[in-house]
A and B are shown apart, each in its own frame.
Chain A
Amino acid sequence: MTFLPAIRYRFMKDIGAPAAMRFAKIGKKRSARPPDPLFAPPLAATRRLKELIGRHYFLSRYAPGAMPVAWVTSGAPVEILRPFGYYTLYPENHSALCGAQKVGGRLCAHAEEHGYSPDLCSYARIDLGHALTGNTPVGRLPRPDLLFASNNICQTVLYWYKILAARYDIPLILFDTPYRFGDAEDGPDLEYMVGQMEAIILQLEGISGRSFDREAFSRTIDLAKETSLLWGRVLATMKTRPAPMTIFDAFAHMLPIVSLRGLESARGYYRLLLEELEERAERGIGAIREERKRLMWDNIAIWPRMREHANLFASHGMAFVTATYTNAWAETTPLLDPGRPLESLAKAYSCVILNHHLEHRLNLMERLIREYRVDGLVIHSARSCKPYSVGQYDIKRLLLERLSIPSVVIEADIADERAYAEEQTRTRLEAFFEALENA
């Protein structure tokens, strides 16, 4: 850490960022809008969320020099980095953001011009498109000092991060999680992963020239666990009928649990959100005004179509109340144990659904369908995400056989808005609504 950037960072954190956030709000104060015919009034917490995201990306620009910057995959055990004081950014989150702002296709095209296949994940293509051109809707991303990836979500991240490592000429830390073909608890796989963690700590000590603060690590684990439990409770409010939020809201509110895990700000945010949702649940305020059917979503969001889909589903009285995707950050992190930090970290991160056999995913979906009283399932077959999309037709058939749960498959993409056929998707969804209404 050098002196000047550190002072600049501190100044931006305490004075610059709050001022910028206030500035962004100027002119946005609108007079009271008429009540929306489809949705309940927006959650008050959403404003805090926007501030949190804005601040996170804004401050990241001032991190270089003041603190080391790491780019991390969504499934990497980030807790291990926290005691070293890294400013962490999530390229997947940034790509989702680009997708939501409908600039994903343009960034993908940049990567494709450099020879990356259009069949490659759009999160990767957007990130590589950004790395190649510097284009981003958030202004500017800081150059990373370190890359941290885990293959518990897919194999693509390995090659994607290797390309970044070569491009920025920086170290890449990989955490390899053997695929779980069965449900065996411990054994050589766990030993192997704990061994890697120990090696990663040594590597980080070497890179940073600092020794690993085990106490701070323990506190981080504790904080991450509590935040994850809070996120689980946020999602669980949707068990109430009518649900006080829908999965479209949850997609937006998941940023802190993904990107700010192990930090105080994420915990504080979910306390706030949970309080508001519990109050709405108690008062019987549903996120959509007329909740007729309750649905489950499978796979990552279609970020570029969030608003259109939220409107389409709400206008048919269809409320998404659970999703395998949002649940992924509540499913295994409760396994975290500050008493056995490395082992519990290895378990929590290797047991995620994408690193697990199909029967596990099926059982999880069955449980969610029962607990959230789901009437139907919408399966997003995502062009980008092969590990998530493989097996979906079997899941569809088996859930119909076991629970008589009807479902529909829509073909789209997570962040490349070009891979979406409006009319065809609408027809499929409307046919599904008709079948649900007549069931």
Chain B
Amino acid sequence: MHYAAGIDVGSLSTEAVILDSEARIVGESILETGFHSTRAAEKAFEAALAQAGLPAEAIEAAVATGYGRISVPFAAKRITEISCHALGAWRLFPDTGTVIDIGGQDSKVIQVGTGGRVLDFTMNDKCAAGTGRFLDVMAAKLEVPLGDLGRLSLEARGEATISSVCTVFAESEVVSLVARNHPREEIIRGIHRSIVHRVVSMVKVVGVQGQVTMTGGVALNQGVVALLSEELGRPVRVPAEPRTVGAFGAALHALKNGA
């Protein structure tokens, strides 16, 4: 049996995926990247190996992706997360034409062609307001666990307006909404609307084609997914584990090319 690994070292979290020769996931792990990205990559790899019940020697090829891709010494090849998310999403949903990935520190929209090829892409890597970081900051300010944001926003009856396009200033806006006793659910929904607006304007730059698949940690937030789908006027599909799609794509590359 041949095995391949993909490691995605992101700004906030590191994921590892191990595939068997049939491209089935036999092990996966998600850890915080922390300060030391090489150590994070090693730990994530070890955790995924433990889950698969495999020794490191069983892995024939490993590909690293994400911002920390250069600090994964055991990876034979480095591929950008753009190519990896495209391939990963296409493999999970072969009719995928557009991938929206909202990660911890950036967001991207990728046009995907046959075989998971990247046709075009655009990125927001300049501003935190369209990224997971924005939700992180807001959840802390509202004293709500990050994982509850989605559920709470779906319970909202109205919606607060967050007009600032900057995370830091939006934070002060949220503070003043809280001070005026604005319902928390409505503030959360407003926050989601704000992030979705940023992403939708990016989607329009490359254009939507085919089915839309959303990847990255923010895809776990049903509130954001629902609003994104509403704003785009089409369904947005989310894989069972959207956070490991990049690592999955990297592992697919490793499997395909033997790294």
- Interface set of A (CB-CB < 8 Å, partner B): 393, 397, 400, 406-409, 411, 421, 423-424, 427-428, 430-431, 434-435, 438-439
Contacts and interface: CB of A to CB of B under 8 A. Distances in A.
7 contacts: A400-B120, A424-B106, A424-B123, A427-B82, A428-B125, A430-B80, A434-B79
B123 A428 contact: yes
B83 A431 contact: yes
B17 interface: no
Interface of B: 67, 79-83, 106, 117-123, 125-126, 205, 207
Given A393-B205, A427-B67, A411 B126 contact: yes
Given A431-B118, A435-B119, A421 B125 contact: yes
Contacts of A434: 79-80, 82-83, 118
A119 to B, nearest CB: 14
A427 B81 contact: yes
Contacts of A409: 122
Contacts of B81: 427, 431
Contact of A431 (B80, B126, B205): B80
B231 to A, nearest CB: 20
A96 B205 CA distance: 31
Contacts of A406: 119-120
Nearest to A435: B118
Q: Which 5 A-B pairs have the closest CB atoms?
A: A431-B82, A424-B125, A431-B80, A435-B118, A434-B83
Contacts of B121: 408, 431, 435
A360 B134 CA distance: 41
Nearest to A425: B125
Contacts of B207: 397
Contacts of A400: 120
A318 to B, nearest CB: 15
Contacts of A438: 83, 117-118
A393 B109 CA distance: 14
Given A421-B126, A434-B79, A434-B80, A439 B120 contact: no
A438 B113 CA distance: 11
B117 A439 contact: yes
A1 B207 CA distance: 63
Given A424-B123, A435-B83, A435-B118, 8 more contacts: A397-B207, A406-B119, A408-B121, A424-B125, A428-B125, A431-B118, A438-B83, A438-B117
Nearest to B79: A434
A439 B121 CA distance: 14
